[in-house]
Structure 1
Amino acid sequence: TSRSRPAHSAENDTALATPQIEVLRGPCEPAVMRGLSVGAAACTALIVSSVSLLLVDVPLGLGVLIGVPLLVLGIQAMSPLLTRRTSSQQAAVAETTALATDLVSGLRTLRGIGAQHNAAARYRHSSQDTLRATLRAASTNGLQDGVTTALSGLLLAAVAGVAGWFALHGRITIGELITVVGLAQFIAEPVGTLGYASQIFARARASAGRLAAVLSSPPQTVTGTSTAIDTTKPLLTLEGVSHGTLSSISLVLRPGESVGVLCYDPRDADALLNVVAGRAPEHTGTVLVGGTVLEELDVDLLRRTVLLERHETDLFEGTLRTNLLAESGLERVMTAAGAADLIEELDRPLADRGQALSGGQRQRLGLARALLAEPPLLVLHDPSTAVDAVTEESLAEGLAEERRGRTTLVLTSSPALLGKMGRVVVIDEGHVVAEGIHSELASSDVVYQEAVLR
């Protein structure tokens, strides 16, 4: 597992899948063990009861031994319907959760363009669909509970009735009749428990099926077969690459070089990142990694060679330390990433996605994780957008020192970061329009000045 987001990671897929996995994780993790435990307890109780009835009267015991499996089969007949409705409910919940996450993260933008009312209406409609799906699943649960209670009641009545008839004809004593009636009443509880276990397994099957569908989704990129690169050649070479808004871009990153890229249009930056990450199969031109065509590289080798860290960092439930996935060098990279203030909080518990952290803290932790991975080529996208100017300056100095002698590509408009790069490439309207040192460009190019000096 990579310490940070790999070059070929599907960020968009992750954003969609994460709410679904969160919805599924709750039912899946404890459900099987809970279902097995209560099911085993119920079966044990039924076996003991049946043996006791066999000791009292063989036909009564055999009746229970035959009747209970038939009753369970009757209960199980409703499981496929419950599984389908539970799966539909989980899909609706996942969709609504993803929509709510998007709305919360983009609320400021929605307000800026006056679209918050349309977004709220969309969420309201999705929430109502989820409510209807939940009610359908709940009604099926209730129906199964009713069927279980009715069937167990019929079994109890049948056992008690036969036992009473046997007592009237002297086949069993009054004491044995009382024993049989007591056991029949006792049997109702484990039968109901088996119905509950059936519901647990039905929900677990629905969750497992959806989780399997997520995990078995086809990869966005077909892996190549080349398992080696030439480290003496440039780690990244773009030759006449066109994709999205990019048009015939050429760029070479020599070993150990740090290059900043300033894109006046954010769409150019997104297109360039997709090309470097191998997520632009329809691009034209040639992309080489260590002298090998990117599409021919084995995906594992590509992930070890190129690490792409976007400014939106994924954090997971646990602690800061478990998210960094390392023990040595933590203090050094945390300081380099401008996150020295978090060193004393490495064992601080984190909620899912690090929601208790500020945007700047999440961003700096993501950068620290990327630095810990020490990839041959590190690609960063706006690593300082959520930090203040003082922290940004410290981060720029730490990044330059930590990555000294290793190839680094930074897409940013930060003057602090661009000033630490050995070379700056400027892209406008899909073309490379300028190249040089930050200080030279800032003093000679008016458009560049307006874009970076603030």
Structure 2
Amino acid sequence: MQISDLPYPDPGVPDARSGSRFLLWLGRNQLGGQVRSFSWGLLHFSAVMALSFAVGYAVQAVVDRDGGRLALAGGLLALTGVTIALGDTMLHRTAVTNWITAAARVQQLLARKTAELGSALTRRVAAGEVVAVSTGDVEKIGWFVEALSRFLAAAMTVVLVCVALAVYQPALALVVVIGVPVLALGVIPLLPRATKLADVQREKAGRATELAADTVAGLRVLRGIGGEELFLTRYREASQEVRRAAVRSARMWAAISAVQVLLPGLLLVAVVWYGIGLVRDGRIQIGELVTVYSAVMLLMYPLRHFEEIAMAYSFSRPSARRAARVLSIERSIEGSGTIEDVTPQGDLYDPVTGLLAPSGRLTAVVCGDPDEAGRLAERLGGHPALDEPVTSVRLGGTPLDELPLDAARAAVLVQDKDPVLLSGTLTELLDVPSSGNVTAEEALRAAECGDVLDALAQASVDDDPMQAPITERGRSLSGGQRQRLALARSLVTDPEVLVLDEPTSAVDSHTEARISEGLRALRKGRTTVVFTSSPLLLDRAERVVLVHEGEVAAVGLHRDLVHTEPRYRAIVTRETEDEQAADEARKASEAYERDTYETEESA
């Protein structure tokens, strides 16, 4: 796989059982790139180490006053220089390719998982964690995949150099053969502590990122209640914890770097001290001493990759663990059919709560807890939370979790409480998979988007609102305008079942009344479920269901439930407990007076 071939036609099915297994899976899927990087790395490191032989050969030629050998040494130096340049260039090229392709594979996997789960993803994993995984964690995972082949090439080079020195000069190579393993393994006792500190740093950084993302997402609300300073203080404290953890981690890595400078220095001193004695005794020549000395000095270059792979693994492991946690989230049951052979129709039924939405009717659902309403809406779309029962919602008797993902989404569309508008034109916003039975104009009219079209027309160059640009997340529009455009987008799709979670919470009552009429008319004969506590929407619903503490508590029409169900009335009318108690006392008093009057009349 080359960079020009990205994205992958199929990024594959990851092994998300753990962070280490996920890294191993990534490596196995890039064997070709790893082999190329290893080969070029081995050529590059070998050429670097060959410099020591060429330098020693040249020094010995000067000592012996042999011009021919000196010229040959010069040719060897030129050849090794060219080989070093070629190997380094191609090593960098292949290594960066491995990095980018690995990161692209992870990003594709995350994008596929996001598309598969939709808004249910952020109900199972914090939005900040998803942001952290898809940004900084992706780069760190790619770093380890890229560094692995260079480390293997460096390790192979060290082994080959030790063998070559043992053959070239056995007496002096003994010091090197003993010393090099000490250099390579000398930092191992420090690595567990360094890895632990790096893990702590990454966890604290992840929490800080989550806090920042959640704060930005709720910035408008925070400003409304004056909570900016409180959350700023929390983020400041979290960032200071990250700084302190980073300093502790950096100190440990600095100690590792110091050890990797100290031990080679000691080895060089030992080689020179022992080598001078051998030269004095006439057992080796000066050129051979220079060769061994140069080889030991140049060994520091490949040995540096031992430290790098340790750092890359320590930083990438928690990142891979987070990515694996996101990628391991699955639907309860994977369907095996296709959208062509599965077209479920009928009543929508949730066996957990007992909620029934009859086919072809507008059903309104009232929940006292907004979070419970959001979870139930996701359940109706076939995406229960991790801590919820796995019993599937049924559409016409068919469990949604047994359907293929495309079929389930074509059958049931859930519009979240806070739908997201992507940047682009209004035409692009409404260009979504649909049945074709509802036009964009009809959807916009039913969602009461007339004033939105007027505002977009003013922002358009040719006064065409459909071609007017919409900024990221619709930030140039008001909350009510964004909500109505999102509703229009959902209406265009014309699914078998449409589930709306508080679709009119940001509009005024007059607009809400018109939307309720337009929604009922446009969705006539189609199953629609609306989670709301608005009397205007509830009054136009053909069936109203009260869900209390996770179960259906009452079913009927709005005007009947208001008079007969105190819990329903308290939610819809925002009645306080004192007002509810007073109302019940008043009704009891009226009933007592009525009974007393009837008794007196009969007497």
Give the TM-score normalised by structure 2.
0.53
| Matched ranges for 1:11-160 at <5 A | 11-16=122-127, 17-22=129-134, 25-43=137-155, 46=158, 49-50=161-162, 53-54=165-166, 56-61=168-173, 63-160=175-272
The CA deviation string for residues 367-394 of structure 1, in whole angstroms up to 9 with x for no partner, is 7886798754332224566799999999
Match of 1:253 among 355, 358, 378: 358
Distance 1:355 1:155 in 2: 64
More deviation, 183-192/50-59: 50-59
Using the aligned pairs only, state the percent identity. 30
CA contact (8 A) 1:32 1:201 kept: yes
Does 1:233 find its partner at 2:332?
Answer: no
Distance 1:70 1:448, change over 3 A: closer
Distance 1:374 1:208 in 2: 39
C-alpha displacement of 1:108 = 3.5
Partner of 2:579: none
Partner of 1:407: 527
C-alpha displacement of 1:310 = 0.7
Partner of 1:289: 394
Distance 2:193 2:265 in 1: 23
Distance 1:3 1:374 in 2: 23
Does 1:378 find its partner at 2:483?
Answer: no
Secondary structure of 1:93 counterpart: helix
CA contact (8 A) 1:426 1:435 kept: no
Q: Which has the larger radius of gyration?
A: 2
Distance 1:145 1:315 in 2: 49
Distance 1:157 1:112, change over 3 A: same
Distance 2:283 2:439 in 1: 84
Partner of 1:310: 416
Partner of 2:293: 181
CA contact (8 A) 2:144 2:312 kept: yes
For structure 2, the residue ranges without an aligned partner over 5 or more in a row are 1-111, 457-464, 560-568, 575-603
Distance 1:111 1:156, change over 3 A: same
Distance 2:493 2:152 in 1: 46
Relative contact order, CA 8 A, sep 6+: which one is greater?
Answer: 1
Aligned-CA RMSD value: 5.5
CA contact (8 A) 1:83 1:205 kept: no
Distance 1:47 1:270, change over 3 A: closer
Letter in 2 for 1:14: V
| Matched ranges for 1:310-389 at <5 A | 310-313=416-419, 376-383=496-503
Letter in 2 for 1:92: K
Distance 1:150 1:39, change over 3 A: same
Letter in 1 for 2:359: R
Partner of 1:245: none
C-alpha displacement of 1:254 = 0.5
Secondary structure of 1:183 counterpart: helix
CA contact (8 A) 2:176 2:296 kept: no
Secondary structure of 1:77 counterpart: helix
Distance 1:121 1:77, change over 3 A: same
Distance 1:405 1:29 in 2: 51
The CA deviation string for residues 105-131 of structure 1, in whole angstroms up to 9 with x for no partner, is 223433444544443333333223222
Secondary structure of 1:379 counterpart: strand
Distance 1:397 1:138 in 2: 63
Letter in 2 for 1:144: I
The CA deviation string for residues 4-44 of structure 1, in whole angstroms up to 9 with x for no partner, is 57589353223254145246624433212331244245346
C-alpha displacement of 1:359 = 8.0
Match of 2:273 among 135, 151, 161: 161
Secondary structure of 2:278 counterpart: helix
Match of 1:276 among 380, 383, 403: 380
Letter in 1 for 2:358: L
Distance 1:72 1:391 in 2: 73
Distance 1:233 1:275 in 2: 17
Distance 1:224 1:44 in 2: 45
Distance 1:34 1:367 in 2: 45
The CA deviation string for residues 324-363 of structure 1, in whole angstroms up to 9 with x for no partner, is 9x997799988757799798799x998xxx6988786986
CA contact (8 A) 2:335 2:404 kept: no
Distance 1:162 1:287, change over 3 A: closer
Distance 2:162 2:388 in 1: 71
Distance 1:4 1:118, change over 3 A: same
From the two aligned structures, give the one with the greater helix fraction. 2
C-alpha displacement of 1:271 = 6.2
From the two aligned structures, give the one with the greater strand fraction. 1
Letter in 1 for 2:170: V
CA contact (8 A) 1:78 1:144 kept: yes
The CA deviation string for residues 45-83 of structure 1, in whole angstroms up to 9 with x for no partner, is 535644663464134445434533342222233322222
CA contact (8 A) 2:374 2:417 kept: no
Give the TM-score normalised by structure 1.
0.67
Partner of 2:69: none
Distance 1:194 1:402, change over 3 A: farther
Distance 1:31 1:22 in 2: 14
Distance 1:345 1:69 in 2: 67
